[in-house]
Amino acid sequence: MNKTHYYGVYENKGNLFTKSLVPGSEFGEKTIKENGTEYRQWDPFRSKLSAAIKKNLKNYPFRDNTKILYLGASFGNTVSFLSDICFNGKIFAVEFAMKPFASLIHLSERRKNIFPIMEDASFPEKYKIFIEDPDVIYQDIAQRDQVTIFLNNFNLFSSAKFGFLFLKTRAIDAVTEPEKVMREQIRKINNVQEILPLNPFERDHYLIVVKR
């Protein structure tokens, strides 16, 4: 297992791994034990952050004690890998749908740095009281107004120095060419540091990295 220049991320035979915070696979991913340490394989086709790293992401603010406000946590696949990386940090995982939220609850019982919050990310004032000064706002939401949701959260949580917006262009406009949609949307956002297309891992998706 080889260290990468991304904190907490390892590489073996072209595949990415994180060091398991708790024993065992969480979502059926492959695990490898080496010198008494277990590592979990991080599939870029199942996690957009893993895809971004495979695409040579330049901005990477995650460290062992990073606090993350994760909007659109879904079932918690990527959340679980951030839990491995930010093992002394906290991940506030916001999800509105019942079935994914139940998965997050189960995950948080094993991983004590995950804090599930059942709320709509469109209304950050409702969950602000539960969030401890996040360092990063991370959003993966398939809604037409996803940029507005991101900006509302990024503006409210002023402690966040970085914002990671995974832009799903087809959720905004299913007809217009994706790059044009992306260009129109980033005009609304200040201090964009990086624009990263996620193909071939995710079609018509871009990672927009913002730094305050």
Q: Is 127 domain-assigned? A: yes
| Closest C-alpha to 209, from 36, 91, 60, 1 | 60
Q: How many CB atoms lie within 10 A of CB 69?
A: 31
Q: Where would I find the beta strands (DSSP E) of 5-161?
A: 9-12, 15-19, 31-34, 37-42, 67-71, 90-94, 114-117, 136-139
Q: Rounded mean pLDDT of 29-33?
A: 97
Domain extent for 159: 44-211
Query: Which pLDDT value is given to residue 117?
Result: 98
pTM, entire model = 0.96
CATH code for the domain of 154: 3.40.50.150
Q: Is 38 domain-assigned? A: no
Q: Is 35 domain-assigned? A: no
Report how many domains make up the chain: 1
Q: Is 22 domain-assigned? A: no
Q: Is 81 domain-assigned? A: yes
Q: Could you report the per-residue pLDDT of 44-63, keeping only the tens digit for each? A: 999 999 999 999 999 999 99
Q: Could you report the per-residue pLDDT of 75-132, keeping only the tens digit for each? A: 999 999 999 999 999 999 999 999 999 999 999 999 999 999 999 999 999 999 999 9
Query: Which pLDDT value is given to residue 113?
Result: 98
